[in-house]
Structure 1
């Protein structure tokens, strides 16, 4: 009987194959995501090849989606999969307070199976998945594949010693030993303006510390880095690549000296036997992968252009529609919150237009003096996408295509677009209790931060 195999696909994606089923995780194999803000370091992989392999297998396919972000749930992949896949497929997800993932899968009419938090779901005789929450919309999972257990954390889950210890205690209680740890070393997140190099260095150090903590806590026999193989690809966010650790930089980090012999990088398409392969047997693949990824890191294509310039008139029309939609979907709450000063207007600088705008749920869009103190700055085309698209804030924030203009600017940005984020996550008038709970928690968090700031 053949042993189960692991194939690294690209970025966060991988494929597990057993005698009875295939498990595909977080497939993003080609194209850009987040309005061209991210691209893959290795651009040689293709969705069409993967779907052809799945069709040829003749096995049931399960697809695990850890969160509703395009690098994990790529819309082009979904469209192509729906058109070209010929077998039996079930999408797996963990339901939290974020309904985006379920909604996207339902819109595409895919067969779905919810994985309740902490409860094992048997996919086949030799394949079982257990999902756990990481915040509201993110997940991590344990996969039992044959006689081996994989812990798939991505680049965000279990980032503190307390979180790792709690998860490890839960596994010990269930008599689970981690054989393979799949984790990231470079979180793709906004971390400072172009001149904030120290902030990006600190973020890189946190990624190394997180990996070391996880390795020390779970004591896997093999560590495979995943979810860290993309780059910021636009001219208005490319600075965020500076200070990120390369694979060689990860291995040279003093904090990871004890784990160096367990870490094995893989290049897209690399496969190993879960039953018999070990860090020693994967040494040659690891060296090839290091050389491959360092070539990808040194290959710096020209940044993609920012979105086309928008006019103030287009922005006014877009904000009018956004405000009407947000107020209607949330029963007038945005205006009420602004009246109560729990939500304040957002001041937005547009350097390409040499304009500064105020966005208000009560007063609409107003032009301010050009030198008025702004919360955040971005190009006008990004601002137009921010206001027009349902995922405008999530895409702009994850893509990092903005600058923070004052200390409170980042929190003001997120707070102002909370109504859009709630609607995007399904926390609108269709789920009033969930919406009320989210608003209450956000309000209490803002109040607590304000009190702490006042007491300093």
Structure 2
């Protein structure tokens, strides 16, 4: 009978090994990401150790990248892989709205293969992978090997019972049962200002509900939580750790009473036999894992420093270059969208400079006069070094938003912030004037999404 093993490496990274191939998923194993905004809860894993394993495997290696965010697609690992790996390897990704994974892999001259949405791709031997689109740029996947099916939902897919119900027929076409479910148990998204602790408690409860709904709908034989073993690491975002559940706290939630028996945690480096292991046989390693993660959750290293302070001159120059890049990709579209209303100038408060500035596609970078209450008139606040990264980096908005290194000052602050940088996000996803149909589709989805949110708010 064919044999297959599953090894949890860290955070969202794991390895599936069969007699004919080895599959690694989302290899973030060391170092902070998102400009030091996130770090691993357990920092003991190393890229060098994984590369040593891959070099010694003696079988074809496949590396699945679920999305372009650096906790799933870490550039330091990719660069080291390119220089040190000595075998046969193929990087796998789903082509779709987000083109960054394919573009970066081609730039690094790494071998790649596309896995179209819903298409089962044969890898080597009996190892197969089916990509499952989940929103803008996100991808879940179904892995088949040695007669076992692994559904990897990561930390975003299928957040409600209704979404699970809607996805079930599609997943059912690819497999008749789920032997192993991999899913997150906590959100790493921005979730309120420092004083808004209730929002973070609500997000933790939603994560519990998400896990319970997935298990109840798909009835897996075993559930391994992954993709939630990171913490907010910088001095200007550590408040977002408040309210997040540690593994043992998660299992104590009453909502999991009916499904707790199939949930098992693993420490980094632990392996299971996909043919033989059950929740019962994993009870001992599960208890050791809970002790391990409890200790790691309690260990709170000093926060990393925020980026060095930037001057107003640096910010003004960076915004001018940002506008040049956006104009090159979209011509007058950002100015037009701001003129007719979908985009609004962004008012940004810089507490370390004690200044408030306005960013506008039509009027450029403008300093607001100092006035009483001017901070409250801003949409969002962030330190000047973060603002400089926001404007300089090609993925500045995605990095700052995911890192959570800002806070809102108006009810409309978050939505205004996101809409203002819509042109940057479109350009990063290939929706520019070179692809007018894709650009139009992206704008249409953004408009429909905004209208839906406004309708929901009006009905509350």
SS of aligned partner of 1:34: coil
Q: CA deviation at 1:166?
A: 2.3
- Per-residue CA deviations over 1:93-148 (Å, capped at 9, x if unaligned) read 11111111111111111111111111100111221110110102000011001111
Cα distance between partner residues in 2 of 1:227 and 1:369: 44
In the alignment, structure 1 residue 430 sits paired with structure 2 residue 434: yes
Return the TM-score normalized by structure 2: 0.97
SS of aligned partner of 1:258: coil
Residue in 2 that maps onto 1:332: 332
In the alignment, structure 1 residue 397 sits paired with structure 2 residue 362: no
Residue in 2 that maps onto 1:81: 81
In the alignment, structure 1 residue 284 sits paired with structure 2 residue 284: yes
- Superposed CA RMSD in Å reads 1.4
Q: CA deviation at 1:452?
A: 6.3
Residue in 2 that maps onto 1:377: 381
Cα distance between partner residues in 2 of 1:137 and 1:111: 21
Q: CA deviation at 1:292?
A: 0.6
- Per-residue CA deviations over 1:345-396 (Å, capped at 9, x if unaligned) read 0000000000000000010011113332000000000000000000100000
Q: CA deviation at 1:2?
A: 6.0
In the alignment, structure 1 residue 446 sits paired with structure 2 residue 428: no
Among 419, 422, 426, the alignment partner of 1:418 is 422
Residue in 1 that maps onto 2:126: 126
Residue in 2 that maps onto 1:34: 34
Cα distance between partner residues in 2 of 1:301 and 1:258: 36
Cα distance between partner residues in 1 of 2:446 and 2:7: 41
Cα distance between partner residues in 2 of 1:175 and 1:108: 35
Q: CA deviation at 1:449?
A: 4.5
SS of aligned partner of 1:182: strand
Q: CA deviation at 1:173?
A: 4.2
- Per-residue CA deviations over 1:168-223 (Å, capped at 9, x if unaligned) read 22333455200000000001100000000000000000000000000000001100
Is the Cα contact below 8 Å between 1:171 and 1:177 reproduced in 2? no
SS of aligned partner of 2:39: strand
Q: How does 1:296-311 map to 2 (within 5 A)?
A: 296-311=296-311
Cα distance between partner residues in 2 of 1:186 and 1:268: 18
Return the TM-score normalized by structure 1: 0.98
Cα distance between partner residues in 2 of 1:161 and 1:452: 19
SS of aligned partner of 2:261: coil
In the alignment, structure 1 residue 263 sits paired with structure 2 residue 267: no
Cα distance between partner residues in 1 of 2:459 and 2:215: 38
Q: CA deviation at 1:241?
A: 0.3
Q: Which residues of structure 1 form unaligned runs of 5+?
A: none
Cα distance between partner residues in 1 of 2:457 and 2:257: 39
Cα distance between partner residues in 1 of 2:379 and 2:203: 22
In the alignment, structure 1 residue 53 sits paired with structure 2 residue 53: yes
In the alignment, structure 1 residue 201 sits paired with structure 2 residue 205: no
Q: CA deviation at 1:325?
A: 1.4
Cα distance between partner residues in 2 of 1:452 and 1:129: 37
Cα distance between partner residues in 2 of 1:428 and 1:119: 27
**Structure 1 range deviating more: 422-431 or 20-29:** 422-431
Is the Cα contact below 8 Å between 1:11 and 1:226 reproduced in 2? yes
**Structure 1 range deviating more: 440-449 or 36-45:** 440-449
Residue in 1 that maps onto 2:351: 351
Q: Which residues of structure 2 form unaligned runs of 5+?
A: none
Cα distance between partner residues in 2 of 1:271 and 1:395: 33
Residue in 2 that maps onto 1:182: 182
Q: How many residues are aligned here?
A: 456
**Structure 2 CA distance for partners of 1:124 and 1:315, relative to 1, 3 Å:** same
SS of aligned partner of 1:248: helix
**Structure 1 range deviating more: 384-393 or 121-130:** 121-130
**Structure 1 range deviating more: 122-131 or 377-386:** 122-131
**Structure 2 CA distance for partners of 1:451 and 1:444, relative to 1, 3 Å:** same
Cα distance between partner residues in 2 of 1:455 and 1:221: 40
Residue in 2 that maps onto 1:224: 224
Q: CA deviation at 1:451?
A: 6.2
